[in-house]
Amino acid sequence: MTCAFIFPGQGGQFIGQARSWLDREPALGEILSLAEEISGRPITRLCLEGPLEELSQTANLQPAVVAVSLMGHRLMKAAGLEPDFVCGHSLGEFSALCAAGVFDERTALALVSRRGAIMEDMAAKNPGAMTAVLGLSPEDLAAVCELARNEGPVVMANFNTPDQIVISGDLRAVAAAGKYAKMKKGKVLPLPLSGAFHSPLMAPAADKFAAELEKTDFKTPVCQVVPNSTARPTADPAEIKARLMTQMTSPVLWTQTVQALAEAGVTEFIEAWPKPYLTSLVKKCLPRASAARTEAFA
């Protein structure tokens, strides 16, 4: 069996997202406590009790998601599972790099706490939008974005499945692109996000966060890592750091990542999350795959 551990980013959060794993192994609560200590935010309460609106605020959500993902990773290790590859969707890259031994849990939580605060601040200063578009090819959606750029910057940000691509950018440009996408028979689903993540509008935030990453020691991973922006496996810590520095403005090549892992021989995609989330995207990227699962630590 060739195995990939996959780690979610924003979008799959729910109230009680740490409960089942805490009930199973109460000692995992120390990760939530560590996230609270580092972030200065009520991570345990938000994960267990919400409210969802407060949990979903970027500065809260990023350390909360990574903390719960790291709980899942500890359960994977306790079950004797070791990955051949790791990857994460956007924010999930930080959990993935921790699982690969590039940095430790404290470092991962410190980085994402800072990242979340920087991104939330940038979204407040320079509001943007993100919209999922279903049913259009990448070529058709690229043409749509080109038309909409008369209104401002808009790009294809998340290649989630062959049939679902998220666009990101200026509020008016994203709205215009959504209108053009509907004219081409695409289905348009605005996302409840205030920032234009993975777009040029995040460039000032990316530059600010790069300074934090520059000070961080990246160790050689114990397995292959697949960065979002390249969808190519690597074990070079310098390349991993360089790719992470540009991640806020680069697209999330999730479809390409899943396909690359399959070509590398991966037969098991094991998600570090209490409910199936990325696994559903894996199955849409690989319709014939039957190995995607979340209950890896049963």
198 is catalytic: yes
175 CA to centre of own chain: 24
Comparing CA positions, the residue from 27, 16, 75 lying closest to residue 49 is 16
d(CA 207, CA 6): 27
CA–CA gap between residue 177 and residue 144 (Å, rounded): 6
Could you check whether the bond before residue 153 is cis, i.e. omega within 30 degrees of 0? Answer: no
Q: What is the 3-state secondary structure (H, E, C) of 192-226?
A: CCCCCCCCHHHHHHHHHHHHHHHCCCCCCCCCEEC
Euclidean distance between CA atoms 97 and 6, whole angstroms: 11
Q: How many residues does the chain have?
A: 298
Residue type present at position 162: P
Judge whether 89 counts as a catalytic residue: no
Q: Which of 69, 73, 89, 90 is catalytic?
A: 90
Q: Which of 39, 73, 89, 198 is catalytic?
A: 198
CA distance linking residue 197 with residue 13, whole number of Å: 17
Decide: 277 and 11 in contact? Cβ < 8 Å: yes
Contact 28, 69 (CB under 8 A): no
* Spatial distance between the Cα atoms of 17 and 225, rounded to a whole number of angstroms: 26
Residues catalogued as catalytic: 90, 198
